[in-house]
Amino acid sequence: MIREDGIKWDGDPKKGDQKFIHALSSVGYHSVAPDLRGFSDTEAPTSITSYTCDHIVNDLVALIDSLGVEQVFLVAHDWGAIMGWYLCLFKPERVKAFVCLSVPFTPRSPQMKPMDRMQGFFGDDYYICRFQAPGEIEVEIAELGTTNVLKTIFSVRKPDPPCFPKGNAFGIRTNASISFPSWLSEEELTYYVTKFDQKGFIGGLNYYQAIDQNWEVTEKWTGVQVKVPVMFIVGDLDMVYTTLGTNEYIHNGDFKNDVPFLEEAVLMEGVGHFINQERAKEIGSHIYDFIKKFK
């Protein structure tokens, strides 16, 4: 399994996502959950080019090889899901089936670079556009504090595209308390903060800053379908799902056209972006029911 923020699903109650890994363990699955490069205890190279999809897929293939297996069941969320799609696209023979959480496949558009398209749709304050200026967001995060920033990210449930105005990107008011989501413990948040404070946010931001480079790397993959069995799960309050055009893409047949072996797209009501934590047991059951068909 892969997730975007470097937290390992290893069942340690001092680490994030223990509810989810326990849900999977209870139905008999052992998992290996790598940190993506740039997160947690991994190396965090400063060069943006070190975070392009070809590098990350090579990391994943090397990991699969080290396990001594030809294929894996893949479960991934957010940036992990994005890199999971690239793994399925580049190396479909290494993936038996893919359970994708939150982020659907995004076909490459040959006409326009992704950042030009996002800026045109959403403007300069769109969060991904704001992340393109190296150093800017890091300064704001340092001023606000990692704890406040992460707590805000976990708590947000806005249906509009996230916009980060300059000066206070995360909309945190001085001295205002930020409530914990019911599914997030203080112990989990402390672990996240500790890990992000090790190396800062450079790894995570570099993934965003490499988006246009991924577009260049994948030129020969334009129009290529993802041909592995897929289950897709998303919450109806997830900002990815509510972003302009995404839910239409998922439901109007275009997603199925690009991913012909898409077996199911599950929309969970009343759930936000961090679906694997908010509804851990349900997600674990969905995963189990899907992958047991391939055993």
Residues acting as catalytic residues: 78, 208, 273
- 3 state SS of 274: coil
Please tell me the distance from the alpha carbon of residue 243 to that of residue 195, in angstroms, as a whole number: 29
Show contacts of 178-187: CB within 8 Å, 24+ apart. 178/148, 178/151, 178/152, 179/155, 180/151, 180/154, 180/155, 181/154, 181/155, 181/274, 181/278, 183/19, 183/274, 183/277, 183/278, 183/279, 183/280, 184/154, 184/274, 184/277, 187/13, 187/14
Name which of 24, 27, 49, 26 is nearest 37 in CA terms.
Answer: 49
The C-alpha R_g of the chain, in whole angstroms, comes to: 18
Specify the 3-state DSSP secondary structure of 87.
helix
The single-letter DSSP state of residue 111 is S
Whether residue 241 contacts residue 233, with contact meaning beta carbons closer than 8 Å, is answered with: no
Which of 184, 192, 119, 117 has the alpha carbon at shortest distance from 156? Answer: 184
Burial class (CB in 10 A: 0-12, 13-18, 19+), 223: exposed
Helix (H) or strand (E) holding 98: strand 95-101
Edge to edge, what strands does the sheet with 95-101 contain?
72-77, 95-101, 230-235, 262-268
